[in-house]
């Protein structure tokens, strides 16, 4: 009898105090007084370095003569990366939060925790008359770029993600993953919609010869681009040459370097630092453009840290003695660097979902929801 009463009491207590799925209280979207004064940008360039935490940035800086283009940024924030169902986010949930403003489950692309489609910032930009583009060093159907045009409950549904790219009406895209488009003959369908499409098989292709009168797509590989295929900086420069020539109100460009996180997965410090330096060259090209343009907000951040990367004793500015805690993602706060009109909105510590709200505020899509 006593045992029965104890079990009943335990059940009542447990039902009254359900444990959160990850033990973190996710704040409601409370609207705070917006007293920040800023000049609105005409364009936003968002640069995401997959797996790029503070240590990756530090190591890349030390091995680049102790300097990076990131040092030009005066406004720096930190964002909380946990997902709806895990303290350690993945690229899908982490980037969906940035692109769509909602915490979701690991593996989910552009949908909320219940699987409901959530509009992303590129779709909203398109609706507001902006030209849109994506450049990535991964497959276009990988999680980070996909979160800016696709809506699927699993990041492994690459053929459905590919079909979403066709629906998105992006003006400009460069990345790998051609095989995900081939089975559905999507490349032909892109051409039917008026796109100029080229691939790595077109040996005579030149990024400098892109016709701004056509929507443009370029496939850099069958799957993820090979290490030896060096096109990133060329693609970045092609994007910032093409998009300003469009007749729209402005443009939104996502630039994604997936290689830093790959180095973390491999626990390869040399790979991380080399890719960090390559990403910084792209940042330098974007900064040169933004300074001349004067109307572009540049944001640089990551979706998560990968590898639990550490710089150990005996290291110097010439030699890194590194260690790793894992070959997976980790959960520290991630920095965000802002430069240009609207940069004032991005200081402080905030949820990764708030990046979306702050970008919308900068572009004037609606009043800010800054938390």
pLDDT, tens only, 121-159: 999 999 999 999 999 999 999 999 999 999 999 999 999
Give the pLDDT score at 27. Answer: 60
Confidence of residue 35 (pLDDT cuts 50, 70, 90): confident
Share of the chain above pLDDT 70, in %: 89
Q: Which domains does the chain have, with CATH numbers?
A: 27-363 (3.40.720.10)
Between these two residues, 3 and 80, which has the higher pLDDT value? 80
* pLDDT tier for residue 307 given thresholds of 50, 70 and 90: very high
Q: What is the mean pLDDT of residues 3-26?
A: 47
Q: Which of 55-59, 162-166, 230-234, 281-285 shows the lowest per-residue confidence on average (mean pLDDT)?
A: 230-234
Note the pLDDT of residue 225.
87
- Alpha-carbon 224 to chain mean position: 17
Mean pLDDT (whole number) for 330-337: 98
pLDDT at 166 over 60: yes
* Residues paired with 59 in a beta bridge: none
pLDDT at 91: 98
What are 232-258's pLDDT values in tens digits?
999 999 999 999 999 889 999 999 999
When comparing pLDDT for 183 and 274, which is higher? 274
DSSP class of residue 317 equals: S
- In this predicted structure, what is the pLDDT of residue 36? 86
* DSSP string for residues in 80-101: E---SS-SS--HHHHHHHHHHS
User: Which pair of tokens denotes residue 226?
Assistant: 């090979």
Can you tell me the mean pLDDT for 37-64? Answer: 97
pLDDT single digits (tens) 289-304: 999 999 999 999 999 9
Pairing status of strand 75-80 against strand 348-351 = parallel
**pLDDT score for 367:** 45
| pLDDT of 178 above 60 | yes
Q: Per residue in 193-235, pLDDT tens? A: 999 999 999 977 788 889 999 999 999 999 998 765 689 999 9
Give the CA count within 13 Å in the CB-facing half-sphere of 317.
6
Q: Are 197 and 175 in contact (CB under 8 A)?
A: no
* pLDDT average, residue stretch 348-371: 83
**CA–CA gap between residue 7 and residue 300 (Å, rounded):** 53
- Indicate the average pLDDT of the chain: 91
* The pLDDT of residue 208: 84
- Is the pLDDT at 3 greater than 80? The verdict is no
pLDDT value at residue 326: 98
User: Is pLDDT of 14 > 60?
Assistant: no
pLDDT at 184 over 90: yes
Distance CA 216, CA 76 (A): 33
Average pLDDT over residues 308-319: 95
**What pLDDT score does 366 carry?**
63
Q: How does strand 310-311 pair with strand 334-339?
A: unpaired
Find the helix packing angle between 54-62 and 269-293, rounded to 10°. 90
Burial of 364 (0-12, 13-18, 19+ CB in 10 A): exposed
- Mean pLDDT, range 265-291, rounded to an integer: 98
Specify the pLDDT at position 359: 97
Beta-carbon count within 10 A of 86 CB: 17
Q: Looking at residue 229, what is its pLDDT? A: 66
Q: Are strands 75-80 and 305-306 parallel, antiparallel or unpaired?
A: unpaired
Per-residue pLDDT tens over the stretch 52-70:
999 999 999 999 999 999 9
The answer to whether the beta carbons of residues 297 and 362 sit under 8 Å apart is yes
3-class SS of residue 39: coil
* pLDDT of 31 above 60: no
């Amino acid at each position: 009898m006593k045992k029965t009463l104890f079990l009943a009491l335990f059940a009542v207590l447990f039902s009254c105090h359900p444990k959160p799925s990850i033990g973190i209280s996710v704040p409601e979207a409370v609207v705070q007084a917006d007293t920040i004064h800023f000049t609105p940008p005409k364009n936003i360039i968002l640069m995401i370095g997959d797996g790029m935490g503070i240590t990756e940035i530090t190591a890349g800086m030390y091995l680049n003569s102790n300097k990076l283009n990131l040092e030009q940024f005066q406004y720096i924030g930190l964002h909380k990366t946990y997902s709806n169902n895990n303290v350690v986010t993945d690229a899908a949930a982490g980037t969906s939060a940035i692109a769509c403003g909602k915490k979701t489950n690991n593996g989910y692309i552009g949908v909320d925790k219940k699987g409901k489609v959530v509009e992303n910032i590129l779709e909203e930009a398109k609706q507001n008359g902006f030209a849109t583009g994506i450049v990535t060093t991964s497959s276009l159907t990988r999680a980070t770029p996909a979160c800016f045009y696709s809506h699927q409950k699993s990041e492994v549904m690459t053929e459905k993600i590919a079909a979403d790219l066709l629906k998105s009406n992006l003006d400009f895209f460069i990345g790998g993953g051609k095989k995900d488009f081939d089975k559905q003959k999507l490349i032909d369908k892109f051409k039917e919609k008026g796109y100029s499409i080229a691939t790595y098989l077109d040996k005579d292709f030149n990024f400098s010869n892109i016709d701004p009168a056509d929507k443009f797509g370029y496939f850099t590989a069958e799957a993820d681009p090979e290490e030896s295929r060096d096109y990133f900086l060329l693609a970045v420069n092609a994007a910032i040459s093409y998009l300003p020539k469009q007749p729209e109100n402005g443009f939104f460009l996502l630039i994604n370097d997936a290689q830093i996180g790959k180095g973390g997965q491999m626990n390869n410090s040399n790979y991380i630092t080399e890719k960090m330096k390559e990403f910084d060259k792209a940042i330098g090209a974007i900064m040169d453009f933004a300074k001349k343009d004067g109307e572009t907000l540049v944001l640089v951040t990551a979706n998560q840290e990968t590898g639990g990367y550490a710089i150990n004793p005996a290291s110097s500015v010439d030699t890194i003695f590194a260690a790793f805690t894992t070959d997976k993602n980790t959960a520290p706060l991630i920095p965000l660097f802002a430069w240009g009109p609207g940069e004032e909105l991005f200081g402080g510590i905030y949820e990764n979902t708030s990046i979306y709200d702050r970008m919308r505020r900068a572009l004037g899509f609606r009043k800010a929801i800054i938390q």
